[in-house]
Amino acid sequence: MKKTKTIVIIVLTLLVLIAILQNTQAVETKLLLLTITMPKALLIIITLLVGFVLGVVVTSLLSEKPVSHRDNMDIKERGEKL
């Protein structure tokens, strides 16, 4: 299993490097009122990082399980029965 994971990481790293090397031309990106010129590879990396960070934030916010009112009632009832 560990060997498979290492191979997958190496293959993905190579694919990312190939994509970066093929996308070195400059592109103009408009962000609100700014126009920024940067290599397409940098734009792809920034987009990936923003998506990753947003995914982590949303997942952490959604994984927090709030205690509902009904759960509080069950806890109180169990406490009274003890």
CA distance readout (Å), 18 to 10, 13, 15, 24, 65: 12, 9, 5, 11, 41
Q: State the pLDDT at residue 11.
A: 95
Output the six-digit token pair for 11. Answer: 């293959």
Q: State the pLDDT at residue 81.
A: 57
> Cα separation of 37 and 48, whole Å?
18
DSSP 67: P
> Cα separation of 55 and 14, whole Å?
24
pLDDT by position in tens, the chain (length 82): 889 999 999 999 999 889 888 988 999 999 889 999 999 988 888 988 999 999 999 988 888 766 555 555 555 566 655 5
> Cα separation of 35 and 32, whole Å?
8
User: Could you tell me the residue ranges of all domains in the chain?
Assistant: 1-48
pTM score of the predicted model: 0.56
